[in-house]
Chains A and B, each alone.
Chain A
């Protein structure tokens, strides 16, 4: 199939529509606005709905209502907007609604700036809203993956009846690359939990209330079993030169591309480095990290944040091996050259 050169933010919308998404509710925010703009253009052309909501809060609740109808639907925003949506995301997790949310992360805290950061890891991967819940979180590193992982997000969300996130950044969203699109999906089964406005489905209740403590605990236990199942089945990652690596580079999204280049350069210099890139941040490739740690490999994590994913890497290594960190913030992107310099320092130590 032919390729199209386009921005990651546009690839999200085309991928979503190909995956059967027919509703978009969103509020403008830089650097995610192109997603809303593309949805506004394309949704009506495919029999879908686009609403520019009055607020982030309204958008996530429109999404809650729409997904209650069993139809693939989405919203997108950037960090401060996601903070506002957290209430609705918690409700969707509690009501087990398969919403899909895209976060094009920008600099924070507060108004911060509109440049790319990866500082939403904690608020997306660790929850962010109230309650004992987890989102499925996918981290693309190219325009192609913005399409592919958006499509996967819908499949996983509906498979597990769970909110799924695309955690990306202003960089991947704004970057143009060739994207190859698959055929559209059209046949979707009726969801037995959803409301279709008919006699067959009216028995269904979409709710997150469990007044009785024992019932709520059981509901929570059921959610935890689901998360465990997701951890067992849905871990996705990319390995690069890990076979003989004694020093493992880890990063997700845009940073992983610099790390890959760093591996190429450092390998030429004879350093035994490799890269483990998580495509899923929840579920996290804990087992793979542990195996590498058991082999004695040290870790080097780079993020465009104060170090958020690095905590999960440390936990997964069970603190058996050194885990080094190099981060940039404020919209600064680590260059391949800077990474190589840092890696060399720590490589000597380990």
Chain B
């Protein structure tokens, strides 16, 4: 009984059913091409390591664009140069899968250089097999980043000229300057001995991934008789005599014994843990009584403005947060567009019984001005009958408007007296609600737990609001002639 001396690896399809060619047994590669050898090394390794079922091969753009015709594994066809990024995506999604990015020199070292370097630098636990044949084969023999000096291609018809095209890129050497790669080796297909070495290198690069060692790349000097316009015999001679001079063979990096195995975990959390992680279960459903301000203080559009660092944005957030807790519709938006210039910080807040249209407050009912430029700039926008509150300890002018209510408050001085200049914003906030009753004081105080991240500062902010509230309340009493 005859026994087959060679059998095809189980990592290859028996019939290449995806190949439109009627011959479903042969590959699409040219005679003398190196891709077939390397495909076989990969297939054998996957079979020997028993990982065929969990392997995913990334086909690039280039001659190996149809690698998926052959490998009986999961297959992804990537855009030109993007194989290392695509490999990153699928590997991180399914860390148990064995992901092999199979790329040529144009794909990997020209259009895909960034994706290569950064996948290597992140130490992605993937295997890259890099076929270096110093030419663009698929598109008909144009210059590659690895084309040798003086080598004629269809786009270097007089030979690669260093002044015009620069020098061949040495990928292994380049990657060897990075910390993360675990294994980098350049091999060649030019004779049996070197093919055996290449086979071992491919196996090692795959084994490293299975063991969770990290980024491995094998660069294979590979013949392209069609692109080089040589016969197969001359092609392998050319690799030996010319290519290996520019691209020396050998192991550039092997840390596979030193590094610890690492595999990403992708736990599937139950719903309650997801809610916890997003901070949603901590949100309390609290019921706060809605304030009952006079008609003219209802549904305010508020603009708060001052220097960066005065806590203007936080003041606005506190208003919006308190409004939300009292069941109002609210919106908050920081300064935008031309208003951003000039080192001032502004925000716009709506607190409304109705759905809010524009979140902008072009014409405020209430202007809170914490510095002179803000008062000067925005006072004329305030609606007739509106309210201007300004920090009289910092602003040495008075508002010129006669048709609005005005409450000067020495907020920064009051804050200093409490022991912290930076809480002037909360003094003003307190004064606003003390004056208008637009929100209840208890609600505003309740926002501090949420909006103040440094818990030791909550108490002093509370004092500031209380102090401001008293001030605003008394001002209102005076204004009403009480």
Contacts and interface: CB of A to CB of B under 8 A. Distances in A.
A331 interface: yes
Contact of B357 (A91, A174, A333, A336): A336
A192 interface: no
A27 B114 CA distance: 14
A61 B86 contact: yes
A283 interface: no
Interface string B263-284: 0111111110111011110011
Most chain-B Cβ atoms within 10 A of its Cβ — which of A59, A115, A206, A212?
A: A206
A64 B82 contact: yes
B317 A176 contact: yes
B94 to A, nearest CB: 4
Given A65-B93, A68-B86, A68-B90, A205 B356 contact: no
Interface string A163-201: 000000011001111100101101000000001111101
Interface in B58-80: 58-59, 65, 68, 72-79
A45 B358 contact: no
Contacts of A208: 77
A174 B339 CA distance: 15
Contact of A331 (B279, B317, B336): B336
A86 B408 CA distance: 55
A66 B92 contact: yes
B270 A186 contact: yes
Contact of B93 (A73, A184, A257, A331): A73
Contact of B356 (A53, A59, A257): A257
A42 to B, nearest CB: 6
Interface in B242-279: 264-271, 273-275, 277-279
A71 B93 contact: yes
B401 to A, nearest CB: 20
A100 to B, nearest CB: 14
Given A5-B317, A195-B74, A66 B90 contact: yes
A45 B75 CA distance: 30
Nearest to B283: A2
B283 A195 contact: no
Nearest to A334: B358
A67 B74 CA distance: 14
Interface residues of A, number: 80
A46 B358 contact: no
B359 A175 contact: yes
A335 interface: yes
Given A116-B336, A177-B331, A336-B357, A58 B85 contact: yes
Interface string B400-427: 0000000000000000000000000000
B285 interface: yes
A175 B267 CA distance: 33
B285 A2 contact: yes
Given A17-B278, A186-B271, A205 B77 contact: yes
Given A58-B82, A178-B330, A23 B92 contact: yes
Contacts of A49: 92-93, 264, 266
A202 B72 CA distance: 7
A5 B320 contact: yes
Contacts of A335: 358, 360, 362
Given A47-B267, A202-B53, A258-B357, A176 B333 contact: yes
Contacts, number: 242
B18 interface: yes
Contacts of A264: 357
A51 interface: yes
A21 B152 CA distance: 50
Contact of A199 (B53, B98, B317, B333): B53
Contacts of B78: 61, 64-65
Contacts of A48: 266
B357 A257 contact: yes
A337 B90 contact: no
Contacts of A183: 271, 275
A66 B97 CA distance: 12
Contacts of B336: 115-116, 170-171, 174, 331, 333
A262 B53 CA distance: 61
Interface string A204-220: 11111101100000000
A73 B270 CA distance: 18
A88 interface: yes
Interface string A19-51: 000110100000000000000001001111101
Given A25-B89, A176-B317, 17 more contacts: A3-B324, A5-B321, A22-B93, A23-B89, A54-B114, A58-B115, A64-B89, A73-B89, A171-B333, A176-B320, A177-B330, A181-B280, A198-B54, A202-B56, A205-B76, A212-B20, A254-B359
20 contacts: A2-B284, A2-B285, A5-B324, A23-B93, A42-B278, A49-B264, A61-B86, A61-B89, A65-B93, A66-B90, A68-B90, A177-B356, A184-B274, A195-B90, A196-B97, A198-B53, A202-B56, A207-B59, A332-B337, A335-B362
Interface of B: 18, 20, 52-56, 58-59, 65, 68, 72-79, 82, 85-94, 96-98, 114-115, 117-118, 122, 264-271, 273-275, 277-280, 283-285, 317, 320-321, 324, 330-334, 336-337, 355-360, 362-363, 450
Interface of A: 1-5, 14, 17-18, 22-23, 25, 42, 45-49, 51, 53-55, 57-59, 61-69, 71, 73, 87-88, 91, 95, 115-116, 170-171, 174-178, 181, 183-184, 186, 195-199, 201-202, 204-209, 211-212, 254, 257-258, 260-262, 264, 331-333, 335-337
